[in-house]
Structure 1
Amino acid sequence: MDHGQREQGGARHLVARLSELGVDFQHWCFACGQLNPGGLNLDFEVSRDRAEARYTALQRHQGYDGLLHGGVVTALLDEAMGWAIFHQGIWGVTAKISVTFRHPLPTGADLRVVGEIARDRGRVIETHGTV
């Protein structure tokens, strides 16, 4: 993740600061927005350099019949890794993402998605994620 700004005080301070700027990303965000009826509606538990959420693979997010779409899997990972840095008070965007799909994920499966900070290189923070 490439980030442009670090904020002191962690995620709560960052959310308050972004709200002052008129940014309301959590309500309609495809991944974590609770008001988005077509979204993933993820609710993350965050600690130190790690974020974790549960997700049930929905039929409306399938690619091939009965299998979760690879783009949705990538969105799950991207969001978890983003929340791992966001909790540190860092606002950033994904600069590059690479996903290795080890096996297909069936719709209806209860999944755990985890994002972790692997290395902080200043302007670039390397993260890893698993589903």
Structure 2
Amino acid sequence: MTNKPHTYFHHLQPSESMVRLVAALRRVIKAMHHVHPGHAGDDAAAAAEQLADELESAGSLGIRQESLLRHTRSPLSGVMNPMAPPMTSEYHPDEKRVVSSILFNEAYQGPPACVHGGFVAALLDEALGRTRHLTDRNCVTGSLLVTYRRPTPVNVPLTVDARITEMHDRKMVVRGEILANGEVTAVGEGTFVFLETEKFNALVTDARNASK
């Protein structure tokens, strides 16, 4: 019997205006896929430049952001990241399992009508890594093996089923698969290395300092 899924991954909720802004920018990213490179779009370019100036002026946060803020910027699930499709997840602790949902539009296309393989790998890394919330421990990806079974289609709802298969003192092994229309398009196996909170925080701080 499957227990009711839990929610472990919390985001700060953006304001209504930010929700509208991110949604509009996602439309822009998708729409750009259909605009010819030779299109004369002076008005659109001017409007985009004005918007960029406004947002740069509004920016009050640096790279060093607390976790709840940082998670809103995720390239796959960030509610404040227009590049994020985004992805949502359900957590099943009794089954050591996380089930995620996502849809990539044509902006993420590699081969015709197919998701770029790099985004497929990133999706598996993110979805498998979400299982860390079932352990309440920080971790980083030690290795990720991706096997592409068939093309992953764009504009089709995808499900990623990830499950912890091995648990050790210093690492865990997670396996998962991407499904489209009930068919497996890619499978992944990741080894995730646990880090103590102090070491994880030091790693994050070093990364932030290097990004200044």
TM-score (norm 1): 0.79
Q: Deviations over 1:50-103 (max 9, x none)?
A: 111111221111112211011111111111111112232121111100000000
Q: Which amino acid aligns with 2:108?
A: H
Structure 1 unaligned residues grouped into runs of 5+: 1-10, 16-20
- Matching of residue 33 in structure 1 with residue 78 in structure 2: yes
2:169 and 2:132 mapped to 1: Cα distance? 12
> 3-state DSSP class of the match of 1:40?
coil
Corresponding residue for residue 4 of structure 1:
none
| 1:68 corresponds to which of 95, 104, 115 | 115
Q: Which amino acid aligns with 2:175?
A: H
> 3-state DSSP class of the match of 1:98?
strand
Q: Which amino acid aligns with 2:73?
A: W
RCO comparison, higher one (Cα < 8 Å, 6+): 1
Corresponding residue for residue 149 of structure 2:
102
Stretches of 4+ aligned residues off by more than 4 angstroms:
none
1:83 and 1:26 mapped to 2: Cα distance? 12
Corresponding residue for residue 41 of structure 2:
none
Contact 1:77 1:114 in 2 (8 A): no
1:87 and 1:80 mapped to 2: Cα distance? 13
1:91 and 1:115 mapped to 2: Cα distance? 17
2:108 and 2:70 mapped to 1: Cα distance? 21
Q: Which amino acid aligns with 2:90?
A: E
1:104 and 1:110 mapped to 2: Cα distance? 14
Contact 2:76 2:85 in 1 (8 A): yes
Corresponding residue for residue 128 of structure 1:
175
User: Is the radius of gyration larger for structure 1 or structure 2?
Assistant: 2
Aligned residue pairs total 116
TM-score (norm 2): 0.50
Q: Which amino acid aligns with 1:32?
A: S
Corresponding residue for residue 3 of structure 1:
none
> 3-state DSSP class of the match of 1:76?
helix
2:85 and 2:121 mapped to 1: Cα distance? 12
CA-CA distance at 1:129 after TM superposition: 1.0
Corresponding residue for residue 55 of structure 1:
102
2:153 and 2:161 mapped to 1: Cα distance? 18
Structure 2 unaligned residues grouped into runs of 5+: 1-7, 12-64, 179-212
Structure holding more helix per residue: 2
